[in-house]
């Protein structure tokens, strides 16, 4: 595993930081969670922090830190995008019917679509996706619940893998042991989730478009009468 890891110049500083947080005990765990939230909002990869939580606090407590922190960061990023960019997206979609149908499909099937996206951290990066979904019509409550359920397996996996390392230097350097035979299954699962996402989104968009085509003649008939 090597994606999302800092270059050598930053590894030593990160190693010192992780060691310092571990020495703080419970306050360090709280600080770790806050840093995770901020890194998510700042579009920084969360992989190394999830692994680090497992290495420092173990699989149980590490998961209790990572899951709420990643969900809080995802919610904040969503709200920032919704507040700052959603109205611009709505104006942009005004004269573009196919894209508007896609947006309506996202709003209608938001829970299932977000769930599939969260189940595929390999091909759909976590941090940018938070902002992208904030620009769509997905309801906030559905987004949060689907994100929680969809991110939970990946969070548990990364924390568990972090708990297997012998030292923090392995986490910082990206030398995290992946059990034999897991990699192809993880890739296959990610591809399956991506295919399901494309199929579901395509069907939803087509259904919205067909409804729009049916509604337009009926409105014209009423106007003529």
Helices 97-108, 110-118: axis angle to 10 degrees equals 80
Rounded Cα distance between 204 and 111, Å, is 13
Q: Give domain limits for the chain.
A: 8-224
Q: What are the CB-based long-range contacts (under 8 Å, 24+) for 124-128?
A: 124/194, 125/45, 126/40, 126/45, 126/46, 126/70, 126/74, 126/151, 127/40, 127/43, 127/44, 127/45, 127/46, 127/77, 128/43
Rounded Cα distance between 223 and 75, Å, is 44
Given pLDDT bands bounded at 50, 70 and 90, which one contains residue 193? Answer: low
Q: Quick one: what percent of the chain has pLDDT higher than 70?
A: 62
Give 66-115 pLDDT, tens digit per residue. 999 999 999 999 999 999 887 777 676 665 655 666 677 777 777 888 88
Q: So what's the pLDDT on residue 69?
A: 96
Residue 103, token pair as written in the block: 């947006």
- Over residues 151-174, the mean pLDDT reads 79
Given pLDDT bands bounded at 50, 70 and 90, which one contains residue 213? Answer: very low
Residue bearing the bigger pLDDT, 179 or 18: 18
Given pLDDT bands bounded at 50, 70 and 90, which one contains residue 137? Answer: confident
- Over residues 182-199, the mean pLDDT reads 60
- Over residues 12-16, the mean pLDDT reads 73
Given pLDDT bands bounded at 50, 70 and 90, which one contains residue 164? Answer: confident
């Amino acid at each position: 595993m090597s994606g999302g890891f800092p270059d050598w110049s930053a590894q030593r500083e990160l190693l010192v930081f992780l060691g310092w947080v571990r020495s703080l005990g419970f306050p360090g765990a709280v600080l770790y969670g806050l840093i995770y939230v901020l890194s998510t909002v700042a579009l920084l990869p969360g992989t190394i922090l999830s692994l680090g939580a497992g290495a420092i606090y173990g699989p149980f407590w590490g998961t209790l830190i990572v899951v709420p922190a990643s969900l809080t960061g995802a919610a904040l990023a969503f709200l920032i995008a919704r507040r700052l960019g959603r109205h611009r997206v709505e104006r942009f979609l005004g004269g573009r019917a196919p894209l508007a149908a896609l947006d309506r499909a996202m709003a209608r099937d938001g829970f299932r679509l977000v769930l599939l996206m969260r189940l595929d951290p390999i091909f759909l990066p976590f941090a940018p996706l938070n902002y992208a979904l904030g620009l769509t019509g997905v309801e906030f409550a559905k987004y949060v619940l689907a994100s929680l359920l969809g991110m939970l397996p990946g969070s548990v996996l990364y924390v568990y893998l972090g708990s297997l390392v012998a030292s923090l230097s392995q986490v910082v350097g990206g030398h995290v042991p992946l059990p034999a035979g897991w990699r192809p299954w993880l890739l296959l699962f990610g591809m399956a989730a991506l295919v399901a996402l494309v199929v579901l989104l395509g069907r939803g968009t087509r259904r919205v478009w067909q409804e729009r085509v049916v509604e337009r003649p009926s409105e014209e008939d009423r106007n003529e009468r």
